[in-house]
Amino acid sequence: MGTFADIIQGGMGVAVSNWKLAKEVASKGKIGVVSGTALDSVLARRLQLGDPGGHIRRAMADFPWPDMVKRIWDRYFVADGKSPEEPFKPVPLPSLTPRKSAIELLLVANFVEVFLAKEGHEGTVGINYLEKIQMPTLPSLLGAMLAGVNVVLMGAGIPQAIPGALDQLAAWDPAEIKMQVEEQGTHGPTTQRFDPREYCQGDLPLLSRPAFLAIVSSDIVAKTLSRKATGAVDGFVVEYHTAGGHNAPPRRSRGDSANAGNHTYGEIDLPDIARIRDLGKPFWLAGGFASPEALKEAQSLGAMGVQVGTAFALCEESGILPEIRYETIRHYLAGDLEIRTDFAASPTGYPFKVATPAPHLVPVAPLPEPCRVCDLGYLRRPYRTDAGAIAYRCPGELGGFVKKGGTVAETVGKQCLCNGLMASVGLAQIRDGILEAPLLTMGEDLSFLPHVLKDGSPVYHAGDLIDYLES
């Protein structure tokens, strides 16, 4: 791939940074990144909405194995879209031992998103995954590589095994990653092995190994990855705790029971940029860097540039529903938008930024327990049952989690991120007439807004933002 650009449009799940946003950014010479999270559900739901514009059909026609595509099309496509009262059909839940249909859906869904983002220009397209969501990763990577993804970015954990997996998949060799399983007891490590030739037969296309950028919040993690990753780490995105989405926990309260509940960020949580620069790899700074001054400052510290999330999440090409974006912008301008770091909400255990733009759009309290249905399951964690079998549980299931042996403490304040984030991009599930409510995440800094908005309108485009950042 060519030299790296100065601006990365951050990966934003679920489907906030969709192919339309990434395509727009990449065609303007920057790095456009699609979110790779939950793409199997996103594809299945878009097909059930009738594939408006025929984009998925067009991308699927380019997938090298038409039989696979046909099985997915026949299962999920609904001409003219399902009725609003009808629930979306479920897709297979992530698991350590996924069925063939689950693997096929991941391959095709990741292919489609990257194919569409790359269509019609020569720019650079990346895909973002979370280390915490391990089970769908290997087939997802292969699907994205089949569409020629240029960069893979991964954070929310220490993605040590992924660089090596990329090397293996690029050679069509089996790849293996160690899975985190709770309550393993005396059982040995559990791994997931994925042999691409089991699913893709006949003439195998040549694959390029995408660049790998690790998203880190400390120089210590960057150094560990530089030394211990299974293959090349080509650079770092260094994310401050003001960024949207998940954040690294404050170091003082990490694993320190005496400090449990005492969550505050301080000096100690700031990455040492000089140490990151000394690692000698390209890096970008993220978290409140959406201004021309911040871009220049990052470059003066030795960074290639910046990764920007929130400012792209609120533009017209973003996947967030327009009414939510406009409401958020209006509340920011009126001075009553609340953005806070919620240390309990995310079932991952990581702090998560929650924005509350409008009480009628976002529930003030978590959904009551009977409404919690773990039917997307991306944040389910494998654990060993007393009988030694593998089962799955998510603290977002509340009582369901406790029934499966989890502690009550872990469920306190938990939101169902999977369903809430899906709702914010217009793919809400409906059950018995009750629509899942949207959950919105934003970074702390929206001071870019007055610079990109004109004439009192809440509408601006990715191109307006890029022009501002480079002004």
Q: Which residues bind ligand FMN (CB under 6 A)?
A: 10-13, 16, 35, 37, 128, 130, 155, 215, 239, 242-245, 286-288, 290, 307-311, 313, 441-443, 445
User: Nearer Cβ to ligand FMN, position 125 or 215?
Assistant: 215
Which one-letter amino acid corresponds to residue 225? Answer: L
Alpha-carbon span 200 to 305, nearest angstrom: 38
User: Nearer Cβ to ligand FMN, position 94 or 288?
Assistant: 288
Q: Could you tell me if 42 and 418 are in contact, meaning their C-beta atoms sit under 8 angstroms apart?
A: no
Q: Could you tell me if 36 and 127 are in contact, meaning their C-beta atoms sit under 8 angstroms apart?
A: yes
User: Nearer Cβ to ligand FMN, position 152 or 170?
Assistant: 152
**Rounded to the nearest whole angstrom, what is the least distance from the CB of residue 157 to ligand FMN in the complex?**
10
**Rounded to the nearest whole angstrom, what is the least distance from the CB of residue 389 to ligand FMN in the complex?**
31
**Rounded to the nearest whole angstrom, what is the least distance from the CB of residue 379 to ligand FMN in the complex?**
12
- Nearest Cα neighbor of 75 from 105, 103, 98 is 105
Find how far residue 301's CA is from the centre of its chain: 27
**Rounded to the nearest whole angstrom, what is the least distance from the CB of residue 190 to ligand FMN in the complex?**
25
Token pair of 120 as six digits: 């019609």
Alpha-carbon span 394 to 411, nearest angstrom: 9
- Nearest Cα neighbor of 116 from 58, 66, 76 is 58
Q: Could you tell me if 361 and 436 are in contact, meaning their C-beta atoms sit under 8 angstroms apart?
A: no
Q: How far is CA 400 from CA 236, 380, 381, in A?
A: 38, 12, 13
DSSP per-residue letters across 21-50: HHHHHHHTTSEEEEE-TTHHHHHHHHHHTT
**Rounded to the nearest whole angstrom, what is the least distance from the CB of residue 202 to ligand FMN in the complex?**
34
User: Nearer Cβ to ligand FMN, position 276 or 311?
Assistant: 311
**Rounded to the nearest whole angstrom, what is the least distance from the CB of residue 114 to ligand FMN in the complex?**
16
User: Nearer Cβ to ligand FMN, position 309 or 377?
Assistant: 309
Token pair of 340 as six digits: 């806070």
**Rounded to the nearest whole angstrom, what is the least distance from the CB of residue 246 to ligand FMN in the complex?**
7
Q: How many CA atoms lie within 13 A of 353 on its CB side?
A: 23
**Rounded to the nearest whole angstrom, what is the least distance from the CB of residue 263 to ligand FMN in the complex?**
19
User: Nearer Cβ to ligand FMN, position 31 or 56?
Assistant: 31
User: Nearer Cβ to ligand FMN, position 104 or 219?
Assistant: 219
Nearest residue to ligand FMN, using CB? 309
- Nearest Cα neighbor of 253 from 245, 263, 244 is 263
User: Nearer Cβ to ligand FMN, position 18 or 242?
Assistant: 242
**Rounded to the nearest whole angstrom, what is the least distance from the CB of residue 254 to ligand FMN in the complex?**
19
User: Nearer Cβ to ligand FMN, position 10 or 210?
Assistant: 10
Which one-letter amino acid corresponds to residue 254? Answer: R
Token pair of 259 as six digits: 């400090």
Q: Which helix (H) or strand (E) holds 278?
A: helix 273-278
User: Nearer Cβ to ligand FMN, position 59 or 469?
Assistant: 469
Q: What burial letters (b/e) apply to 344-382, b meaning 16+ CB within 10 Å?
A: bbbbbbbbbbbbbbbeebbbeebbeeeebebbbbbbbbb
**Rounded to the nearest whole angstrom, what is the least distance from the CB of residue 285 to ligand FMN in the complex?**
9
Cis peptide before 14 (omega within 30 of 0): yes
Give backbone dihedrals phi and psi of 211, rounded to 5 degrees, phi first: -65, 150
Intra-chain end-to-end CA distance of the chain, in Å = 26
Alpha-carbon span 215 to 217, nearest angstrom: 7
